[in-house]
């Protein structure tokens, strides 16, 4: 049997949340999606609030992953410990609340979801994501294993994809908010894309108003990030996974306006 797994790129602001609520379930019905992972770390701009986690699940997410803005809103800390469907990067230090790995039921099979964060350009003393993945993969053995690698450098993401090729079902990148055109299946059967893109305003710079970003590049003082107005997009990828092998047979990018 082929299972269709949907991964949705970083949800940005209230506009991104609203668009997800409108578009996610219709896409799931159209594409016969069995399991959905949404990166929600920018739902409140930087970080997300407990009520926004609820909205993400109500909109159709099965698991919510995070990244470098995991602790952007302190109100989420308790929920990180209590909610097994909310994941932060597994290679955060041992003192960080929450978990970075979970195994979930998906019909007749189990799905493992791993959240990792890169270290190239994201400097906050995270453990090595490659050895963290090795450690996790030595534990439980679900039929499917999915990896959200929240990282800046394309080289680090690609290296992770090849490192895990044949050992996991799919690896996708988040964080840069710009979708890449390199979706495909690696030689040993792992589905891959360097970045899913984002769920948020179309006419923006990574979700914020262009004029605010331009002002910063012209030397203006730092400002609190706002979310741009206007039409939105929901970007991500669908991974078709074979329940016999646990590996990927096809990857399709999605961009829902």
pLDDT score of 122: 83
pLDDT score of 114: 98
Regions in the chain scoring below 70 on pLDDT: 123-124
pLDDT score of 140: 86
Domain map (residue ranges) of the chain = 2-256
pLDDT score of 222: 86
Classified by CATH at the fold level, domain 2-256 comes out as Purple Acid Phosphatase; chain A, domain 2 (3.60.21)
Catalytic position from the list 19, 34, 69, 175:
69
Do residues 49 and 76 make contact, with C-beta atoms less than 8 angstroms apart? yes
- Per the annotation, the verdict on 69 as an active-site residue is yes
- Is the pTM higher than 0.85? The answer reads yes
Do residues 16 and 207 make contact, with C-beta atoms less than 8 angstroms apart? yes
- Between strands 191-193 and 198-201, the pairing is unpaired
């Amino acid at each position: 049997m082929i299972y269709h797994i949907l991964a949705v790129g970083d949800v940005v602001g209230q506009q991104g949340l609203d668009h997800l609520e409108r578009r996610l379930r219709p896409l799931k019905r159209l594409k016969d999606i069995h399991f959905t992972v949404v990166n929600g770390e920018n739902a409140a701009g930087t970080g997300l609030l407990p009520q926004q986690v609820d909205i993400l699940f109500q909109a159709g997410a099965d698991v919510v992953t995070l990244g470098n803005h995991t602790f952007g809103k302190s109100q989420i800390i308790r929920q990180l410990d209590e909610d097994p469907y909310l994941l932060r990067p597994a290679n955060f230090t041992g003192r960080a609340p929450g978990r970075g790995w979970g195994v979930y039921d998906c019909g007749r099979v189990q799905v493992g979801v791993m959240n990792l964060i890169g270290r190239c350009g994201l400097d906050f003393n995270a453990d090595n994501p490659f050895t963290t993945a090795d450690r996790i993969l030595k534990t439980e053995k679900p039929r499917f294993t999915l990896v959200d690698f929240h990282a800046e450098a394309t080289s680090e993401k690609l290296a992770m994809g090849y490192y895990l090729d044949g050992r996991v079902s799919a690896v996708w990148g988040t964080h840069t908010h710009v979708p890449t055109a390199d979706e495909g299946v690696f030689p040993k059967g792992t589905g891959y894309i360097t970045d899913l893109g984002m769920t948020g305003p179309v006419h923006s710079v990574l979700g914020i108003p262009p004029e605010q970003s331009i002002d910063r590049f012209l030397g203006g003082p730092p400002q609190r990030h706002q979310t741009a107005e206007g039409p939105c997009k929901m970007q991500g990828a669908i991974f078709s996974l074979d329940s016999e092998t646990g590996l990927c047979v096809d990857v399709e990018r999605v961009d829902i306006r």
